[in-house]
Amino acid sequence: MRLNSQHGCGRPLWGAVLGLSAVLVLSEAGARSQRVAVLGAGPAPLSDRFSPYVATPHSLVSKMLELAGVTPDDTVYDLGSGDGRIVVAAAQKFGARAVGVEIRGELARKSSEEIAKLGLQKNARIIHGDMFEVDIGPATVVTLYQLRTVNKRLRPLLEKKLRRGARVVSCDFEIPGWTPDKVVKATSEAGTEYELFLYSRP
């Protein structure tokens, strides 16, 4: 998971997304405040549906799943799964069923190949599609690394589709209108501090 790529291929926005993504990758090693400032600023905040692709630091992946209390009884959906690292970790390390949703064809293909290479096909899969159009009803856990504006747009979908007791973990960006059950700080390999927000559906 990462700040992910929910953007339509071939749109005029694509060039801006690529440029901003490069800035974001470089800024991960900098201060959190600078990174958040970059994400929240710029001539094009991308939209309320799409975020640039920035991979969740490896050191945060397990922390997010641990914060959600993932067990083999869970079904984890990673919305905007990027290179599939959260999906792989959920299945391989936590024994959960895991589904990634990724709109970028190349990332979806590569992460599916990695799942097959690791022999995790029984527990893990990648859906090449738009996270706003995928049925997340089976999820007991949802993981996110999206802009705050995208989280706001996702909120009605999460409220409508998630079952009672489902947990949502968002990296670095709150879900506007929801009150987190818990907020924890985590540090990446590069020494950047993040906040992880845990929510649960009543």
Q: List the chain domain ranges.
A: 54-200
Percent of the chain with pLDDT over 70: 75
Distances (CA, A) of 87 to 81, 120, 149: 7, 10, 24
Angle (CA) 62-192-102 rounded to 5° is 50
Q: What is the DSSP letter of 129?
A: S
CA distance 12 to 110: 25
- pLDDT, tens digit, 9 for 90 and up, residues 37-88: 444 443 334 455 667 788 899 999 999 999 999 999 999 999 999 999 999 9
Average pLDDT, the chain: 83
Note whether 148 and 176 are within 8 A (CB): yes
Q: For the chain, which ranges sit under pLDDT 50?
A: 1-2, 4-46
Q: Which two tokens stand for residue 176?
A: 């506007």
Retrieve residue 189's tokens. Answer: 């390999």
CATH 3.30.499.10 assigned to domain 54-200? The reply is no
Q: Is 83 helix (H, G, I), strand (E, B) or coil?
A: coil
Q: What pTM did the predictor assign?
A: 0.79
Residue pair 29/190 in contact by the 8 Å Cβ criterion: yes
